[in-house]
Amino acid sequence: MRQRIAVISDIHSNLEALEAVLAEIDRLGCQEIICLGDLVGYGPDPEASVDLVMERCGVVLRGNHDDALFRPVLDFNPIARNAINYTRKIMKPGLVRAGRKAKRWEFLRHLPLQQLRGDWLLVHASPNDPLKEYLLKTDLLFCRDKIAEALERTPRLAFVGHTHFPGVFDEKLRFHEPRDLRDGQYRFGDGKAIINVGSVGQPRDKDPRACFVTVEADGARFHRVEYDFTAVQQKILASGPFDEFSAARLARGE
C-alpha cells in the first residue's frame, strides 16, 4: 500500500473541526497523523481536543499557544491572551497531580519543538525559529531574506503551520496557494520546499473550512473539510471570556 501521511496544525480547541478532519483522514486511509502544534487557544474545547490529538497523532509538536500555558503571556494580543488564561484555568491540575488532567498537562508541557524525520523538518512556525516566526506570502515582497534563510535551514522539505495560511514556498522564492495548484497538489521536484499545512480550527484565508495536508512520495495535497462552525460559535458565546469576534471569525475564515 502507498504510504500516505496526514499533517495537521493549529487546532485551537476547535473540537468539531478536529473531528471532521480526523474522519476525512480515516476515509483517505492515512497510515499516520503528524500534528504541528497549537492544540489549544481561541476555542472552547481544549481538553477534548488535546485528548483526541494524544489518541490519534503519532508525532505532536509544541506551538506558541501550547507553550504560553506555562509562562506569563506578555506577547499575545488581548483575544489570544484571554483564551490562554481561560484554557490554563480549565486545564491546570490541582495540587494532587493525578488522573487525566495531570496526564494532559504533562503531555503539553513536554511537547518537542521540532522533529527531523529523514529529509523532512517538522516544526510549528519556521525553520529559523520553531515557535514564533511567521513565514508569510508578503515576506516575498518585503522580507525575502527571511524566506531564503528558512529554505537554507530546510533539509529538503519543511512542514509548518502557525500563520493559518496554507501554501508552499519553493526554492525559487515563489509562494503557491492551494487554489493555484492542479487538484490542490504540490508535486515535489528536486528543489526544497516549505509547506504550510494551514489550520484545522481557525483558517484565516477567507475559507471557513478546516484545512490539512496529506503527503505521499511524489507530493503534498491540500484538503478542505466543512464542519459545523455554528456549534462552536454557540459554545464560544455561551462560555468563557470570549468576545463576539472569536465566534464571527470562524464563519468568515479570518
- Please state, in angstroms and rounded to a whole number, the distance separating the CA atoms of residues 88 and 41: 10
Q: Is 62 exposed, middle or buried (0-12, 13-18, 19+ CB in 10 A)?
A: buried
Q: Which is nearer to Zn ion, 61 or 168 (CB)?
A: 61
Residue 35 one-letter amino acid: C
Instruction: Supply 140's cell numbers.
Output: 516575498
C-alpha torsion sign, points 16, 19, 25, 29: negative
Shortest distance, CB of residue 17 to Zn ion, whole angstroms? 13
Shortest distance, CB of residue 186 to Zn ion, whole angstroms? 21
Q: Which is nearer to Zn ion, 192 or 232 (CB)?
A: 232
Q: Which is nearer to Zn ion, 24 or 38 (CB)?
A: 38
- Please state, in angstroms and rounded to a whole number, the distance separating the CA atoms of residues 220 and 197: 9
Shortest distance, CB of residue 80 to Zn ion, whole angstroms? 9
Shortest distance, CB of residue 49 to Zn ion, whole angstroms? 13
Shortest distance, CB of residue 149 to Zn ion, whole angstroms? 22
Q: How many CB atoms lie within 10 A of CB 56?
A: 17
Q: Which residues would be at the binding site for Zn ion (CB under 5 A)?
A: 10, 38
**DSSP letter at 43?**
S
Q: Which is nearer to Zn ion, 127 or 161 (CB)?
A: 161
- Please state, in angstroms and rounded to a whole number, the distance separating the CA atoms of residues 219 and 203: 22
Q: Which is nearer to Zn ion, 10 or 19 (CB)?
A: 10
